[in-house]
Amino acid sequence: MGTAALMIEPSRVLGANDRVRVGFIGFGGRAQELVTQLLPLPGAELVAVADIYTRRLDEAKHLAPTVRTFDDHRRLLDAKDVDAVIVASPLHMHCRHFVDTLAAGKDLYSEKTMTWSIAEAEKCLAAAKDSNRIVQIGLQHESSGALADARKWIGDGMVGKVTHVQSWMSRNTPRGKGQWVRPIPADCNAQNVNWQAFLNGRPDRAFDANKFINWRLFWEFSGGNVTENMVHQIAWIISALDLNLPAAASMSGGVFSEPDGREVPDTIAVTLEYPSLAVTWQSTFSNSHFGLGEHILGSDGTIEHVAGANDMVTGTSASSIHYYPEKLNRPGGTAVAGQTPDQNHMLNFIDCIRTRKQTNAPVDIGYRSAIAAHMANMAYRHKQRVTLETAKTMVDPVG
């Protein structure tokens, strides 16, 4: 596949005044948020949408009457007038859409988590390295000012030796309404959905509207809250501290607050072991008091990055980052509040298509964060601590 990606020329070379013509693969909830970020950008144009559910194509036409719609992503990728593709399909389809997009010579924005499995992460990394295409992963906190602040404080030696990073995410829902559970539209049936395309090689079975709409709740299609949200925070921590891959991972928890038939746990405790530090991450779905955040604990100082319960998803609500000195080792140090403004993650993608510079969330951070997430889920499903080596070779009970 990498060779194919090399051989295929991009649709065109963009001049300074040319608009970047963008297509979407998957036009559900997240894509319809991303399109509102794309449309205001002066250098970008929405030209095509591919989805396998007729309702989503109707919604695209309603939003942009001239948009061309496709019921098969391969037909969108054949289109010569598409320069770049945004992949916002369910997790178990990311790898296929990622690799196909690069092989078609298009630049790529792929939603997180980059892939559903470790093997797929390896495949996408290789495909991206073999191509000269721009890749941005939908890890929008890689464009945050808070990350720039944390990197600067760490780089300036204000934090000292870091052996532990604590992180957490807490959410709540009204009693009786499960986190992530979406209503099934009346037109969601086997006539309007290409169910085989959704299964993407999973064992064949009769159409299941709940699994199609609420795919997040089931291992075959999802990685649960580890791939929905931990991945944002672990990517941020990896980038702040320049970490590579975990040496080992453990994860425990269960379906405690949402006993609605879901398979993925709602209550989670993860430990990721890096060569000289441990990262812990906890998730709960029945209490939102502490929102979400990260504490980088160093011998010379602490970085506290906290946000409201939904920040990592919408990217819109307020968050703050502070540095506090450890007076034991930095007696003259003073507390600092981070001030660096966020960059626009979508604009960064469009800019990089023109400049051919590396994006804020290139394939490497997609890869490293995906491997950490999948190692944690492997540890949970196998009920044991897994090392990087064993995670790569273990047979996944849902794979």
Ligand X SMILES: NC(=O)c1ccc[n+]([C@@H]2O[C@H](COP(=O)([O-])OP(=O)(O)OC[C@H]3O[C@@H](n4cnc5c(N)ncnc54)[C@H](O)[C@@H]3O)[C@@H](O)[C@H]2O)c1
Residue ranges in contact with ligand X by CB under 6 A: 25-31, 50-53, 56, 73, 88-91, 93, 111-112, 138, 140, 197-198, 228, 313
Of 113, 18, 107, give the one whose Cα is nearest residue 374. Answer: 113
d(CA 316, CA 310): 9
CB of 276 to ligand X, least distance (A): 30
SS3 175: coil
Using the minimum distance from each CB to ligand X, give the nearer residue, 140 or 359.
140
CB of 329 to ligand X, least distance (A): 37
Of 302 and 377, nearer to ligand X (C-beta) is 377
Give least dist CB 376 to ligand X, A. 16
State the minimum distance, in angstroms, from the CB of residue 323 to ligand X. 26
Closest CB to ligand X: residue number = 28
The nearer residue to ligand X, 229 or 284, going by C-beta atoms, is 229
Rounded to the nearest 5 percent, the helix, strand and coil shares of the chain are 35, 20, 40
Please say which residue, 198 or 323, places its beta carbon nearer to ligand X: 198
Nearer to ligand X, 5 or 91 (CB): 91
14 versus 365: smaller Cβ distance to ligand X: 365
Report angle CA 97, 185, 399 to the nearest 5 degrees.
Answer: 40
- What's the min distance (Å) between Cβ of 202 and ligand X? 12
Q: Which residues contact 184 (CB under 8 A, 6 or more apart)?
A: 209, 210, 213
Q: Residue 26 or 338: which CB sits closer to ligand X?
A: 26
Q: Closest approach of Cβ 15 to ligand X, in Å?
A: 31
Query: Strands, DSSP E only, in the chain?
Result: 20-25, 44-50, 68-70, 84-87, 107-110, 135-137, 162-170, 248-254, 267-274, 277-284, 292-298, 301-307, 319-325, 336-337, 386-387
Q: CB burial class (10 A; 0-12, 13-18, 19+) of residue 341?
A: exposed
SS3 category, 57: helix
**Minimum distance from CB of 249 to ligand X (Å)?**
20
Instruction: Say if residues 141 and 236 touch (Cβ distance below 8 Å).
Output: yes
